[in-house]
Structures are given as C-alpha cells and as structure tokens.
Structure 1
Amino acid sequence: MTTLLRARDVAFAYPSAPGTPVLARLGLTLRVGDRLGVVGENGSGKSTLLGVLAGDLAPTAGDVERAGSLAVVPQEMADGAATVGDLVARSLGTARAAAARLEAALASGDGGTHGGAERSRDVALAVEQYEASAAWDADRLLDEALTRFGAPRDPARPLAAMSVGERYRVRLACRLAEGADAVLLDEPTNHLDPTALAHLTQRIRTWPGGVIVVTHDRQLLDDVATAVLDLDPTVDGVPARYGARRGVGFGYADYRRAKRAALARWRTRYRAEQERLAELFDRRDYAYEHLSDEWRPPKGSKKNRRGTRARQHVKAADRAHARLERTAVDVPPPPPEIALPALDGEPAARTSIASGGRVLALTGAVVPGRLDRPDLAVELGPGGRLLVVGPNGAGKSTLLALLAAAVAPDVRVGYLAQEAAFDAATVGGAQDVATARILAALEDGSLEPDSVVPLATTGLVAPEDLDRPVAELSVGRRRRLDLALTLMTAPHVLVLDEPTNHLAVDLMDALTAWLREVGAAVVVATHDRRMRADLADWPTLDLG
C-alpha cells in the first residue's frame, strides 16, 4: 500500500515559546485508503500538525516525508483581494495544464518534428498526467462541489465581501476539485449544512488517496475515520492512535471507550504512586524526627551508635523516595474540568417582563436581502427551549441576532455569534477582554456584581491563557473564550449560533448535557448532527 505521508518523532515549538513544544514525539503514517481523524483539546496542536505535515512549518525535531500531491484546507486563510474566479482558476490549473500538454503532444506529430518513438513517449506521459488530474472531468467536479457545498459561484465576487462560511465553502470546493493524493482538512464541517455535510462525507469516504481530517464532528468521525490520532497528553508522552483491528469496524464510541480505559489506567498508576510517595514521606519524616531526638539522649544512652543508625535510616528513606520520584508519572490531565454555571432563568425584576411571562418575543423577521419571514412569531418563557435548523443561506444567523435583541426589559441575554466578537488582531489578554466586558455591563446597570460568573470558574479558559494576548490563542481557544465571556453576565436567555464550532470533541458531550439542564432559556442553531439528535425533543424551527 502506497505511503503518502510519514512523520518520525516530530516535535515543534513556536519561536516565541521555544521551551514549550506544541508537538513532541509524534509519529504517523498515511497510506492510500487511510482516513485519519485528528482530535485533541483546543490548543493541543492539531492545526500546527497539519502545518508541519504540509511543509508550511519546519519541525524543530524529527522529519516528514511526502509522496505525491498534497492539498490543505486550513480553518483560516488570508484571501487578500482574491475573487471566486481566482480560486477556481488556481484549482483547475493542473487539470488545464495537463489537457494542454496532451493536446500539444498529439499535435506534435503533424509537422514531423518528432520521431515516432519519442512522440509515443510524449503522448504516453501526457495521457498519464491527463488521467491523474482527471482533466476530462475537472470542470464538472468543481461545479458540482460548489453547488453541493452551497458556495458562491459568481467569478467576479471578491472573497473579502463574503461571510466566513461562504469563503470557507469556496475554498473547500476548489481544493477538493484538485484531486490531490493526500488531503489535509482542518475542521471542514464548521460551515456546512446537512446537504453539504453529506457531500463532504461521501467525498472523504471515496477519496482515492489518503485523508487527514482535524474535526470536532463526532458523526463525521463515525462515518469516515479508519483511525483516530489523539493529541491530548498520554502517560508516556506519545500521542495515542486508536484504530480497529483488521476486519473490525471502528467508530467514535470505540475511540471514546479506548481513551477512557487508557486514562483510567494512567490515573490508577498515579494514585498508587502518590500513596507510595506519601508512605515514604512519613518514613523519612519519622527518621528525621528520631535523628533530631538522638542528639539529646537520656543520660547513659549510647548516643553515637543510635545517631549513626538513625542517619542510615534517613539516607535509605531519601534514596527510596528519590527512586520513586524519578519513575513517577505526571498528574494525568483528564478531560477539562468543565463547570458551566447553572444560570437562573427567572429575572429578579419579574414585574418588568412582558405580559404572559415571556422573556423573549419576536413577531415578524424581515431583514432585506437576508431574511424575509413576516409570518414568523417566536416566544419563550423562562427556561424555554428552541432549536433552529435550516440550510446555509436560510437566515439562521440573522434570525438569532434578531432574537437576541428581542428579549424583555431587565432580562440579560448571552449571545454567542457564529463569528467571534474579537479576532486574532485583538489587542490585550483574555482577562483584559473579560474585564472590559464586565465593567461595561456593571456601568450600564445590566449586571449586578454578585451575578458575575468569573472567567476561570467555567473551565473553558485555561489558567495559563488568562494573561495571554488573544492573538496568541488558537482558533479553538478563542472560541472557548468567547463562550466563557457569553456566560460571564449570568444570562437569563442564551442565544447560541453554532456553539460547537472549533471546540474539542471532549467538550461536546458536556456542553450538550448542560444545555439540556441549564435554568436559562436557550435558543440554539447548529449544524452538528450529533447535537441535533441529542436535542431532537426540543421545539424546532426549520427555516428551510
């Protein structure tokens, strides 16, 4: 089986933090037919790994071998002044060049400038390149991908004038149409509706080469992955690869089961070592105490002999303690200790709520060019629930923005937009951003001091990230920060637009369970198929 990518003992650290490697002791092999899912906590190095494999980042240790063509679709990409037509032309460049080469080879014999054998070799090579790039079908495949992904098709349309989702879908369609041997996808489901997800799933499952996909989408892992590479810490420091034995099926549930078992073994070993360390501490303390006592012995005692024996006990205890410390493992980092707040769904100023006990009411939803539903009426009482679904372009995000603005007086709303309230260019640290938001809410009277949900208590933001500039946080960690900021004001109504985007798989089940139990009223729009299935008993508004 042809090997397309091989990484050996790879490590990587950014120049700004050379002593803190993002990747360490990583090895993987991608062969034809492999579909490797990559998971891990936000900030564990998933996007960095793709950059190293693609050659965009040079590893600080180890090496990467590549064979065949390679296409990468990152989460974020600088498009500059590019248009849809520019990306289409770039995508079809290889196929069109192969078609032109074949045409030239076939025409070269007309003037007799080539001998028969040489011309045959030229034609054979041109045909091979033509078939490898599927040049005869490239335009149709790209047209189909743009259609199935719901991507803009106007060649003159600038990417800078599009939404994040529209830009991503154009890039995804174009890169897949290139037909590379190995494809690296970074969170490809973030901006896809069910139709587009079905098309992506089919393309990955039938890809003739190999695919590496970084994803939080549990259903996609179930549908396509032949193995899962988990970048979360392990007992031996080597990223774990979970996969099936030959001829045995493999899915997300199998991965979760295997990871839980590995983590349980790690914790068991750690607890046993900590108990042994505590025992050695007690023995050493006992020896020290008796050594101290022996320098003031009762009259007539053999102090020198007793003191020497005590010192021997101390040295033995020190040696045993040092041996165990050298072989002890670190504290196993379990899935993040998420402690999402309960939230009170009943505003204190009940008398100010609109008649009928509603915390949110919207009649008619019309935004020219984006949403035209004058017939729409949405009402939620305290603790109410609403799931919003529909294809891309149906106006889900527009509707959620209207709902967030339609809360009753004295009702606090937490609105998580699909696009972050800040980006990588935001100046200041995570704690600075949080402080500014809280001070603004306190100043305008929408929040009482005792209602604040501290940033660090949710477990969404790691302590080491509190003072880091937002620009240095990964896309996933910025998303977690945005969610934590949404919860800081203890909202009575939560309006969440694609809350699973960019989040790690370990957070997904916890987030879904919390949404089902939280006291606040909740409106969710999500493309995540597993979350939609888990919330299928909620009242549903379909904008399709």
Structure 2
Amino acid sequence: MHVAAKDVAVGHPGRPVLAGVTFTAAAGDRVGLVGENGTGKTTLLRVLAGRLEPTAGEVRRVGSLAVVEQELALGEGLTVGDLVEEALADARAAAVELEAATAAVDALGGEAEGRDEGPATRLAQALARAERLGVWDADRRADEALSRFGAPRDRSRPLASLSVGERYRARLACRIAQRADVLLLDEPTNHLDASGIEHLTEQLRTWPGAVVIVTHDRRLLDDIMTAIVDLDPSIDGRPTVYGATSYAAYRFSRDQALRRWRQRYTAEQARREKLAERLDASYEGLSDEWRPPKGSDKHRRATRARIHVKAADRLVEQLEAQAVEVPAPPLTLAFPDLPAMPPGGDPAHPLVEVRGPRVPGRLDLPGVRVGLPPCGRLLVTGPNGAGKSTLLGVLAGTVPSLRGVRAVRPGVRLGLLGQDDATTQDSPDSTGFEAYARRALRLLEAGALDPEQLVAVAGLGLLTEEDLDRPLGELSLGQRRRFDLAGALLAAPHVLLLDEPTNHLSVALVDELTDALRTTSAAVVVATHDRALQTDLADWPVLDLSGG
C-alpha cells in the first residue's frame, strides 16, 4: 500500500501550477504537503487521488483510497447515512465474502482436509481482509468518529441541512472509519475543535497505511508527520522534500534556503545593473561626441565606429553568457502600520464594548463584559458551537444581540475576517483589483473608511499583481482567504476581529501573521482552535466559552 509521484506537473495554458513533484508515501508514512496559497497543494492531492490527470509525470497507487477534500459536493437528497454507507462499502463487502468463505469450508466439513486447499485459502484471505477493515465494529467506529469530530450522528439528516463545518466533519469521520490503505486529507483540522483535533491526531499516529495531508496546522506537522513536502518553488524551481519531522527543523532549513536565495537574487540583480550600465556607456561612445569632424577622415570615422560597435556587441554576449536565471523569491507579508485609536481619543476608554450579549441558540453571556481598549488583545477559545464566531459578529455589529449593550467609540474603524468568508460578497468574475475597489467604495459610502488611510492590496505581500488581475473564481481557496484578510485590513482598522485566521493559509504566512498580530498598534481579537496559535498568544487575556 503506497502512493508515489514522479516528476508530476500540472498546468494550464501559459500558467504552470506544479512541476517536478517527486515523493513516495508508503505504509506508515505520514507526509505533510505545505506551501504558499496557490502553489497547487489541493491540485496535487486531486492528482494523487486520480481525479485529475497530470500534464507530465506519473502517479502510482497501491491499495484502497479515501479522500477528504475541503469542499463537499452536495448530491440531491444525500444524507449523513449515505456518507456512512459509502465509506463502509468495503467493510460490508468483506463481511459478505467472509460469510461466503466460511460457509464454503463448513459445507465441505472434514472431507476437504488434506486434499482441497482452495476453500481454506479463500477463508484465510477473507479473514485477513475482514480483520484489516475491522468489519465487526465498523458501525461503532463510524458512530464514534461522528461523535468525536462533532458531526451529526443522525443518519437521516440531509447534508444540505448541515453547515459547511458539519459537512466536512461528517465526511472526515466516515473516511477515518473506512480504514483505507491510502488516506488523502485536505486541511483536516480547519473545522475541528480541540477534542476533534486530539482524536484525529490519535487516529493518524497509528494509521497502518499511507497518509498524505495538506495542512497549515503547525502542531499537527510536529505531532504526526514523518516527512514534509514543500511545494513552494525553490531556487531551482522544484519542490523540496524535507525528511525532518519537526516543524521547527523544517522552518529552519527553509528559512536558510530562502536567505541564500534572496542573497543570490540581490547579487544577480546588482550584477545585471552594473553590466547594463557598462553596455550603455559603450553605446554612448557611438555618439558624435567622440567622432572626428565630418570631412576630416571619413575612413577613420567608420573604422572607429565599427570598433565600438563590436566592443558593445561583445559586452552583450558577455552579459548573456554570465547571466544566471535566479527567479524572484516568494512574497512576504508586509503588515500595515495600523492606528491605535482615532485622533483625539481617550486611551482610558474602550474602542468597542459589549455587555451581556444574547443571540438565541448561538450565544448567551449574561453578566459578561467584553471591552477592547486601544492596543488591547483578546483570545477567544471554546469548542465548536460555543459561540465564538457569533461573539465576533456581535462585536463587529454584523450580528444583532437581543440583550445587552454594544458601544463603539466615534471614529473607530473595525476590520472583520469571518471564518468562511471566502470572498462570498464578491462576484467570482471580478478581478481582485476590481473587487477590492468595490469594497473600498462600500466602506466609503458607509462612512467607515478614511481615504487618506486606505491600505492598498498590492502592497501587502498577500497576492501578486498577476493574481489580483485574475477573476476571483480562478483563485484557490487559500488565495481567496488571503484576499479576505486584505479586505479586513483595507480601512486601516483600529480594531481587528479575526475568526480562525489561520484557516487555509500557508504555514509560512501563519508565522508572519502571528508576529504581526503580536506587535500591531491596533486592538486585536482572535478566535481560534489552532493549538500552535493559542500557544503563541498564550500571554493574551483569554475568554473561554467552553461553559457558555
């Protein structure tokens, strides 16, 4: 049982997505796929699953396969029970085969002993397969996984009635219960709370088959991975396989490689500029300034011109011969300098405050006051369904509270990154630049934007100008998440409200964003299940909604 990629490439006309991907995940291997958003992690997972043909290279798969993608297509009338039955189909078939093989041996009785090994061999093979698939407790495993991951256990529930997170958790639970030989997971911790992540980690640590996971979860990389494949292009344009299982060791190796890359790129650019200046100076010698006066010696004038032209041509040849193709290194986050409070504000008073909010069925915090002073910090934790997203919506004013008081100081600007924004407010046919401009106009009309402090999307290092010129519908989920993060920063907010900000982002960007949140002058509220982020922000005040 294994999955292997050899020199895999995927691309669209004029736009390569993947190139030169080579690695193998065998039984017991747990390989993490990381890289910047848009580098093709999800695309590679689809290629490994056989759902997308590579434009070059090959993929080999041995054993049964289970895939959990970020987005689940909703077939009409499908229920949770349909997901369970699909996942347990192999176990059901193995149980039927075992029963038939047992019946065949029983029918022969003692007569088969010593002269016909066929039925006995069939029974041994059927028994081994049944044990590997755990046919005797398959339904119990499915129920336990649904419960541990926080997914609905009612098998009659239509998938269309579930939230995005519930649908993902239901699919993940079923695939874990399936016990496939090769397991491919795309961002499995995005919709899990702490207990769900703990159960997933336990399952993957002991998974007998091969596991390949696209993830931004730094703790998961530390806890279970045996290798990391970084799809970010290296200086030679090929992905890099890191055997180090520690996230810190991986980041150290990667940072060292990036440092060398940037040094070489800077040196090469400087050398090119120097040679170009020499070339320009040589061609300047062909001007009338060095030539003898007309009529004085026309043959001498022509000879000197030819000499200078040949010298300039030799410099051009030298420039081309010495040129080293060093691609531009990846973007880094350029977090804006956000203001602490409006002009003339009083640092002793909160920028935004809510008291005793209540949203029926979603949030009830009687007697609780949540206030953000200038430069304030707050970490909101709790299981799925505790009301973290709702609280951030109440603070932002996008979710009305039926009880309590919400107060915002005059002139305070708020920026909200929702958990599942994914550019839902923008047309998928709009380019990033167009959609960003429309967002700015909406904020300006609402009086929530100071044109003098608008944060330009192209200067954030979140997306390239090429990506911003593409329709939003063509961007990856991670790239759209980056765009939404830029949207939260657009108005240079005094208060930044971030709901699961690490979802769908690359691990490198998560590290950069974490550093920025710790040092920005704006007040920041973060709601997250990300264990590494919770550790990084452990010195912040915490509001735990576990009991609410």
Instruction: State the TM-score, normalizing by the size of structure 2.
Output: 0.90
Q: Secondary structure at the match of 1:441?
A: helix
Shift of residue 339 of structure 1? 1.8
Shift of residue 541 of structure 1? 0.7
Q: Is the 8 A contact 2:235 2:327 kept in 1?
A: no
Distance 2:283 2:463 in 1: 43
Q: Secondary structure at the match of 2:252?
A: helix
Which of 528, 536, 541 in structure 2 is aligned with 1:539?
541
Q: Secondary structure at the match of 2:518?
A: helix
Shift of residue 307 of structure 1? 4.5
Q: Is the 8 A contact 1:416 1:497 kept in 2?
A: yes
Shift of residue 41 of structure 1? 0.7
Seq. identity, %: 53
Distance 1:242 1:348 in 2: 50
Q: Is the 8 A contact 2:105 2:120 kept in 1?
A: no
| Larger CA deviation: 290-299 vs 387-396 | 290-299
Aligned residue identity for 2:98: L
| Aligned counterpart, 2:32 | 37
CA pair 271-416 structure 1, distance change in 2 beyond 3 A: closer
| Aligned counterpart, 1:229 | 229
Aligned residues: 528
Aligned residue identity for 1:21: P
| Aligned counterpart, 2:402 | none
* Residue deviations 1:484-513 (CA, integer Å, cap 9, x gap): 111112222221110110011111122112
| Aligned counterpart, 2:531 | 529
Q: Is the 8 A contact 2:261 2:329 kept in 1?
A: no
Q: Secondary structure at the match of 1:459?
A: coil
CA pair 382-265 structure 1, distance change in 2 beyond 3 A: closer
Say yes or no: does 1:390 pair with 2:382: yes
Q: Is the 8 A contact 1:84 1:170 kept in 2?
A: yes
Any residues of structure 2 matched to 1:509-528 within 5 Å, and which? 509-528=511-530
CA pair 26-394 structure 1, distance change in 2 beyond 3 A: same
| Larger CA deviation: 385-394 vs 304-313 | 304-313
| Aligned counterpart, 2:444 | 442
Shift of residue 284 of structure 1? 3.0
| Aligned counterpart, 1:90 | 86
Distance 1:85 1:9 in 2: 39
Aligned residue identity for 1:166: E
Q: Is the 8 A contact 2:235 2:261 kept in 1?
A: yes
* Residue deviations 1:194-215 (CA, integer Å, cap 9, x gap): 1111111122221111111111
Distance 1:101 1:197 in 2: 35
Shift of residue 22 of structure 1? 0.3
Which of 466, 470, 473 in structure 1 is aligned with 2:472?
470
Distance 1:431 1:281 in 2: 34
| Aligned counterpart, 1:461 | 463
Q: Is the 8 A contact 2:413 2:448 kept in 1?
A: yes
CA pair 432-318 structure 1, distance change in 2 beyond 3 A: closer
* Residue deviations 1:111-154 (CA, integer Å, cap 9, x gap): 56997533223322321321231212322322222222122111
Q: Secondary structure at the match of 2:170?
A: helix
Say yes or no: does 1:5 pair with 2:7: no
Any residues of structure 2 matched to 1:252-401 within 5 Å, and which? 252-292=247-287, 296-297=291-292, 302-303=300-301, 306-325=304-323, 328-334=324-330, 336-348=331-343, 350=345, 357-401=349-393
| Larger CA deviation: 401-410 vs 475-484 | 401-410
Distance 2:350 2:270 in 1: 55
Aligned residue identity for 1:142: A
Distance 1:162 1:349 in 2: 47
Q: Secondary structure at the match of 2:371?
A: strand
Q: Secondary structure at the match of 2:525?
A: strand
Shift of residue 110 of structure 1? 5.3
| Aligned counterpart, 1:247 | none
Q: Is the 8 A contact 1:295 1:307 kept in 2?
A: no
Aligned residue identity for 1:399: L
Aligned residue identity for 1:102: L
Structure 1 unaligned regions, length at least 5:
245-249
Say yes or no: does 1:25 pair with 2:20: yes
Shift of residue 286 of structure 1? 3.8
Q: Secondary structure at the match of 2:368?
A: strand
* Residue deviations 1:436-478 (CA, integer Å, cap 9, x gap): 2221222222323223222222222321122322211110011
* Residue deviations 1:281-313 (CA, integer Å, cap 9, x gap): 344334333355698337579556544543442
Q: Is the 8 A contact 2:444 2:450 kept in 1?
A: yes
Q: Secondary structure at the match of 2:9?
A: strand
Shift of residue 31 of structure 1? 1.5
CA pair 160-287 structure 1, distance change in 2 beyond 3 A: same
| Aligned counterpart, 2:241 | 241
| Larger CA deviation: 409-418 vs 217-226 | 409-418
| Aligned counterpart, 2:403 | none
Distance 1:523 1:315 in 2: 61
Distance 2:167 2:421 in 1: 16
Q: Secondary structure at the match of 1:82?
A: coil
Structure 2 unaligned regions, length at least 5:
398-405
Say yes or no: does 1:55 pair with 2:50: yes
Large movers: runs of 4+ above 6 Å: none
Q: Secondary structure at the match of 2:357?
A: strand
Shift of residue 387 of structure 1? 0.7
Q: Is the 8 A contact 1:5 1:30 kept in 2?
A: yes
CA pair 516-87 structure 1, distance change in 2 beyond 3 A: same
Q: Secondary structure at the match of 1:374?
A: coil
* Residue deviations 1:357-383 (CA, integer Å, cap 9, x gap): 222222223222222332322122222
Distance 2:440 2:303 in 1: 68
Aligned residue identity for 1:271: T
State the superposition RMSD in angstroms: 2.4
Q: Is the 8 A contact 2:350 2:409 kept in 1?
A: no
CA pair 280-402 structure 1, distance change in 2 beyond 3 A: closer
Distance 1:268 1:361 in 2: 47
Q: Is the 8 A contact 2:72 2:167 kept in 1?
A: no
Q: Is the 8 A contact 1:263 1:332 kept in 2?
A: no
Any residues of structure 2 matched to 1:48-197 within 5 Å, and which? 48-80=43-75, 81-109=77-105, 116-197=116-197
Shift of residue 178 of structure 1? 0.9
Q: Secondary structure at the match of 1:382?
A: coil
Q: Is the 8 A contact 1:412 1:446 kept in 2?
A: yes
CA pair 308-62 structure 1, distance change in 2 beyond 3 A: same
Distance 1:525 1:269 in 2: 40
Aligned residue identity for 1:386: L
Shift of residue 185 of structure 1? 1.0
Distance 2:167 2:454 in 1: 37
| Aligned counterpart, 1:422 | 423
Q: Is the 8 A contact 2:9 2:54 kept in 1?
A: yes
Distance 1:161 1:275 in 2: 59
Q: Secondary structure at the match of 1:100?
A: helix
